[in-house]
Structure 1
Amino acid sequence: MSSSSLPRIALVGDHGNHNEPAHPRIDEMVPHLPVQATWVPTVDIHDAAALQGFDAVWLVPGAPYFNQRGVHLAIRHARENGLPFLGTCGGFFSALIEHAQNVLHLPAAEGVDENPDKMLPLVTPLKCSFRGERAPLRIRENSRMSSIYGGSTEVEEVFHCDYGLTEDFMDAANQGQLSFSAWDIDGAPRGLEIAGHPFFVGTLFQPELSSTPESVHPIIRTFIETVLLTSGATGRAAAKDAA
């Protein structure tokens, strides 16, 4: 397939922000993936027009983001339009807050995308930070996350996220089609998904740090596979091969 026929993924994030270690890993990985990935700075997202033409959204680590409102616009665009979405580390709690704000209309989530000070009471340090180290993760049985791991309910992942959201807020936001699907050894949610969506997954760990161009993490691999399916790229490739 030529680059023009590859599905397009928006890498939403602030490239190099906080010297985020996931960013160079992504830069190394994406040239080897069957997609066209483009960095979209959060400051460039003022409405959904910034995401037009993209087949999926990958909200990468690097919180606090320069423009949280732009982050929420990208999440909502993917959620409402059925575009595959992957949010890692800061992308996890941004996805949770966006859902709480625009689907559940929780008072605690109102205005946090426009006023960063309103987010501060929701953020709390994680007991299990394990920066750059592997730690156990419990996966909900029969979840999308479990299927990604081949049905496993106990895995190990690289934790590099120091902050999460308060227990009270996460309990209130864990409603409707959104549900938690992974927890660390302290019982803090580390994964979420939305039922009935082609692919909507958030992880409060970084699968990017477990990936190389030769060996892509199963969460990222499944995300890419879904992008190919939903964009019709696999069908185009098969038709071209058959011609």
Structure 2
Amino acid sequence: MSHPVVRIGLVGDRSPTVRAHGAIPVALELASRAVGVSAPELTWLSTRQLDGVREDTLTPFAGIWCVPGSPYESMDGALAAIRVAREQGIPFLGTCGGFQHALIEFARHVLGLREADHAESNPDAALPLVGALSCSLVGTRGKVTLTAGSHAARAFGRTESTESYHCNYGLNASYRHVLDGAPLKITGEDEEGSVRVVELAEHPFFLATLFQPELSASTGQPHPLVQAFLAAASARAARMQSAKHTG
């Protein structure tokens, strides 16, 4: 059987001014060489086109990456894509804005916190789950400590890494408690204990980071999290191809 085509949906509003948007295809190509699979087929999915999207529009994708660049043109579109990935077991990676919106999607649709919102796009939010960081992380690098045994730690092969950021918003510390005991686990923190990684342990691969692993593409080296995401997407593509041939 031939190697399956690995289709990745990139959720976000593509712009030449967003450094991450140019870095992501390079990061995925570097990861494909490291994982030993063909370079994935990438489809950019604007958040407006995803507003009200049918579930079966996204299920053919082997993986979904919610990319930086928020506030998105349509928050509802971004949340819809994240929800499909979460509910349908599609490997998911959210970075920066993707991390922020993964938190909001989970809070609204799993925890029942319908007013959970983003302070950047809605400064008057009743429940600003995502708020301004006390210190901007634009253009910074910092150490992240990972929970032993987590998807993130397994991907890195260690429990510590130094990562690059380009963001001003993150999980509002006043609402950190809403994740206590929730399936969406905090598995990465910075040196001050602020949340930098969350994941769903029971999902094939659902992981979101406030840092931007794609920015490592400028070094020419594959990033462990991008490799892990692509490996999970490749496994899904293989299962989909097998089901097609046996169905």
Assess same fold via TM > 0.5.
yes
Q: Which residue of 1 aligns with 2:148?
A: 141
8 A contact 1:96–1:173 mirrored in 2: no
* TM superposition shift of 1:128: 4.8
Give ranges in structure 2 of 5+ residues lacking alignment.
33-37, 243-247
Q: Which residue of 2 aligns with 1:240?
A: none
1:23 aligns with 2:21: yes
Give ranges in structure 1 of 5+ residues lacking alignment.
237-243
Q: Which residue of 1 aligns with 2:238?
A: 232
Q: Which residue of 2 aligns with 1:215?
A: 221
Number of aligned residue pairs: 229
Q: 1:168 to 1:130 in 2, by over 3 A?
A: closer
Deviations 1:66-99 (A, max 9, x none): 1110111101100110000000001111111111
Q: Which residue of 2 aligns with 1:91?
A: 98
TM-score normalised by structure 1 residue count: 0.84
Q: 1:49 to 1:43 in 2, by over 3 A?
A: farther
- Alignment partners' CA distance in 1, 2:46 and 2:241: 31
Candidates 40, 43, 47, aligned match of 1:38: 43
TM-score normalised by structure 2 residue count: 0.83
Deviations 1:185-232 (A, max 9, x none): 221100000011100000000001012594221000110011111221
1:199 aligns with 2:197: no
Deviations 1:129-156 (A, max 9, x none): 3422321111112211111110x22211
* TM superposition shift of 1:120: 7.9
- Alignment partners' CA distance in 2, 1:194 and 1:210: 24
Q: Which residue of 2 aligns with 1:106?
A: 113
- Alignment partners' CA distance in 1, 2:63 and 2:126: 26
Candidates 56, 59, 62, aligned match of 2:69: 62
SS in 2 for 1:179: strand
SS in 2 for 1:211: helix
1:14 aligns with 2:13: yes
- Alignment partners' CA distance in 1, 2:217 and 2:236: 23
SS in 2 for 1:105: coil
SS in 2 for 1:43: helix
1:72 aligns with 2:92: no
Let me know the Cα RMSD of the aligned residues: 2.6
Deviations 1:16-53 (A, max 9, x none): 17x22101112434456431111011110122244242
